[in-house]
Amino acid sequence: MIVADDILLMIPGPTNLPPQVREALGRPSFYHRGKDFADLLAFCTDALRRVFQTSDDVLILNSSGTGGVEAAIVNTLSPGDRVLVVDGGKFGERMVEIATTYGARVDVLTVERGQAADPAEVRARLDGHVALLFVQNETSTGVRQDADLLAAAARERGALTVVDTVSSMGGMSIPVEAWGLDAVAAGSQKALMLPPGLAFVSMSERAWAAAEKARMPKFYFDLKAAQESLGKGQTPWTPNVNMFRALRAALELILGEGLEKVWQRHHALGEATRAAVEALGLELFSDREHASDVVTAVRSPEGIDSQVLVKNVSAKHGILISGGQSELRGKIFRVGHMGWCQIDDVLRTIQATAMELKALGFEVSVGDALTAARAAYAKATGEEKR
């Protein structure tokens, strides 16, 4: 095998796979138009409804997360529609590109990298726009948007919300129905503990009403076709049946642990990571109040190229963390802590990163960082009270 299998993935996707998921992936393929598949699809759709916290169907697409975002856009909009896109990073930029490609008239609300959008500013900018598009969790900067407030602003202004939750769904509580998020796309390779390759899209009643009029062309990503097939226990195009089996295994694990517990674990892992960052004398790249619970972005200390740090942590410790993308390359590093991830994985990562920072000349106390992380984790999970 040319691929090293003993690497701990602490990047914001692909993430580590649970043994149950790996076992399911390696089972035989099977027929996708029979009762077995219909049962599997029904189970997964129902479980995803719980993950999305919605009573609407969640449609399962065979594509990466970007395909899901494209589906959410082209099924709700028409060429010429005016939309406002919140651009706070690489994935906000991608929403701009998709909407533009399909002929929307795109206004961009640029948010400083590392900051969340101000809902009041968004509300003020919305002016006859058909839809507000935003990324709930911007992987490139480690920022969580106030999706509830942005959705409220959109609703007040009569705009639909199209939301990218590719990196966050499953790892954070995103009450899709209660917050009124209309077209919401998620991906498989992040908190949902699968390889890349499946996307999940929920559509509200308002989104389906928009879909009736939406004229952006789509065939493979036609959600109405997916919805009709779902009624027959099928998908419109041949699904990756092995990935569906694995999806069931992952969803069983998540529901078995309990959604509240899963979200709490992610929050606690985020708290632990942030406490370590502070104890190390480093600076979060993202606004503390809007720091993501699935990925933490950290400014690289003065004089240290984060690409070198990432490389050393990987080479010497077998742990993969991420650098920065585009203009942030070399300037930040990012730690993913989502999906099949426990506090020990985070502690190993903190230790390795701290040691390599030290080796690069940045004076830190590895022990203090680990102590702070353990304490923050215990506090966030309530374990300290036991």
Single-letter amino acid, residue 22: R
- Indicate the residue type of 184: V
* Residues 200-239, mask of contacts with a second copy (x by CB under 8 A): ----------------xxxxxx--------------xxxx
Using alpha carbons, select from 374, 377, 355 the residue that is nearest to residue 364.
Answer: 355
Nearest approach in angstroms of CB 115 to a second copy is: 25
By CB under 8 A, residue 103 contacts a second copy: yes
Chain CA centroid to CA 336, Å: 10
DSSP code, position 138: E
Cβ atoms of 354 and 280 within 8 Å: the answer is yes
First to last CA, the chain: 46
Size, binding site for a second copy by CB under 8 A? 59
Rounded CA-CA distance 189/202 in Å is: 17
Alpha helices in 82-175 (DSSP H): 90-101, 119-125, 147-156
Closer to a second copy by Cβ: residue 139 or 173: 139
Quote the least distance from Cβ 3 to a second copy, whole Å.
5
Among 67, 89, 114, 119, binds a second copy (CB under 8 A): 67
Residue 325 CB, shortest distance to a second copy, in Å, is 10
Per-residue interface string for the shown chain with a second copy, residues 268-307, x marking contact by CB under 8 A = ----------------------------------------
Question: Nearer to a second copy by C-beta: 170 or 195?
Answer: 195
Is 318 a binding residue for a second copy by CB under 8 A? The answer is: no
Instruction: Please report whether residue 375 would count as binding a second copy according to CB under 8 A.
Output: no
338 binds a second copy, rule: CB under 8 A: no
Q: Which is nearer to a second copy, 19 or 128 (CB)?
A: 19
Task: Return d(Cα 96, Cα 119) in angstroms, integer.
Answer: 19
Q: Which is nearer to a second copy, 223 or 369 (CB)?
A: 223
Residue written as tokens 């690497």?
7
| Stretch in the footprint of a second copy (CB under 8 A) among 30-38, 113-121, 357-365, 366-374 | 30-38
Applying CB under 8 A, the span of 81-89, 99-107, 204-212, 288-296 interacting with a second copy comes to 99-107
How much is the CA Rg of the chain, to the nearest whole Å? 21
Task: Name which position in 11, 48, 247, 372 contacts a second copy (CB under 8 A).
Answer: 11
Alpha helices in the chain (DSSP H): 19-25, 35-52, 65-74, 90-101, 119-125, 147-156, 176-179, 205-213, 223-230, 241-257, 259-279, 306-317, 343-359, 366-381
- SS3 of 92, please? helix
Is the separation of the CB atoms in 154 and 136 below 8 Å?
A: no
Q: Does residue number 31 form part of the binding site for a second copy (CB under 8 A)?
A: yes
| Residue closest to 103 by CA, chosen among 66, 127, 73, 60 | 73
Its sign, for the CA torsion 326, 327, 332, 338, is negative
**CB of residue 45 vs a second copy: minimum separation in angstroms?**
15
Among 45, 242, 264, 307, contact with a second copy (rule: CB under 8 A) = 242
Could you say which DSSP state residue 186 is in?
E
For a second copy, the binding residue among 36, 278, 287, 305 (CB under 8 A) is 36
Tell me: does residue 65 bind a second copy (CB under 8 A).
Answer: yes
Least separation in angstroms between residue 221's CB and a second copy is 7
- When the beta carbons of 3 and 363 are compared against a second copy, the nearer one is 3
Binding site for a second copy (CB under 8 A): 1-5, 7, 9, 11, 13-17, 22-23, 25-32, 36, 39-40, 62-67, 70, 97-98, 101-103, 187, 189, 195-197, 216-221, 236-243, 245, 320
